[in-house]
Structures are given as structure tokens and as C-alpha cells.
């Protein structure tokens, strides 16, 4: 497994996969990110991030059933692994800790 450092976009993609559990594939991850963040993202960048997350062992994938709307092709569905969940929890803890240590004067 590669290192588990996550860039901001990888973190966002991993969060979107967690939100869309059971229905997380490229297009739904794009939709989730665009809905949550209000910004456009490309399907290609999401696929690249999903591939990197899989290499790091933070997500795993399997093929879902074939659908007529996709010309009989199967969707590659992603789910967050235990290490992926731990990575998200660690990131949340670090961010919260850092937010709590900002002195009031920083906002003046």
C-alpha cells in the first residue's frame, strides 16, 4: 500500500464515496461533489483520484450489475475501506484540533 497522505481533492472524493455508499461510481461521485461544494469537477479528475485512492488502499471497487442505460456495461462501484475510514477520521481530528487552537486575535 502506498502512503496515505491525501491531497484536498482526494479527501473530497473519499468523502463523496463515503456519502454515496452503495452507489459510488464516477458519475455519482462527480454529482455529490458538485452538489456539496457548488463547484464543477471533471469525471476524468474524479477517476484519477479514485485510482490513487485505490492504490493507497483507502477505497476498493467491484463491478455492479450491467444496465441498459449504459449499453449493458457494468459500473465500477467504490466503497471506503477501514484504512480509508481511519484516514478520514484522522483528517477530521487534525483539522478540528487546528481550528480550536486559532487564537481569537487571528480574527480581529
Render pLDDT for 4-58 as a digit per residue (tens, 0 to 9): 689 999 999 999 999 999 899 999 999 999 999 999 999 999 999 999 999 999 9
With bands split at pLDDT 50, 70 and 90, how would you rate the model's confidence at 69?
low
CB half-sphere exposure, 37, CA atoms < 13 A: 16
Render pLDDT for 74-90 as a digit per residue (tens, 0 to 9): 889 999 999 999 999 99
Rounded Cα distance between 81 and 57, Å, is 7
Reference 84, options 28, 13, 36; nearest CA is 13
With bands split at pLDDT 50, 70 and 90, how would you rate the model's confidence at 3?
low
Reported CATH class of domain 8-102:
mainly alpha
Q: Has residue 1 got a pLDDT over 60?
A: no
Q: Has residue 67 got a pLDDT over 90?
A: no
Parse the chain into domains and list their residue ranges. 8-102
Supply the pLDDT for residue 73: 73
Amino acid at each position: 500500500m502506498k502512503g496515505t497522505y491525501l491531497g484536498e481533492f482526494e479527501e473530497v472524493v473519499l468523502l463523496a464515496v463515503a456519502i454515496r455508499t452503495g452507489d459510488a461510481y464516477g458519475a455519482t461521485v462527480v454529482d455529490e461533489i458538485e452538489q456539496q461544494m457548488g463547484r464543477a469537477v471533471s469525471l476524468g479528475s474524479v477517476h484519477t483520484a479514485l485510482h490513487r485512492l485505490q492504490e493507497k488502499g483507502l477505497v476498493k471497487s467491484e463491478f455492479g450489475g450491467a444496465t441498459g442505460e449504459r449499453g449493458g456495461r457494468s459500473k465500477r462501484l467504490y466503497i471506503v475501506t477501514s484504512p480509508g475510514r481511519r484516514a478520514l477520521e484522522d483528517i477530521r481530528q487534525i483539522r478540528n484540533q487546528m481550528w480550536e487552537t486559532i487564537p481569537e486575535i487571528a480574527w480581529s
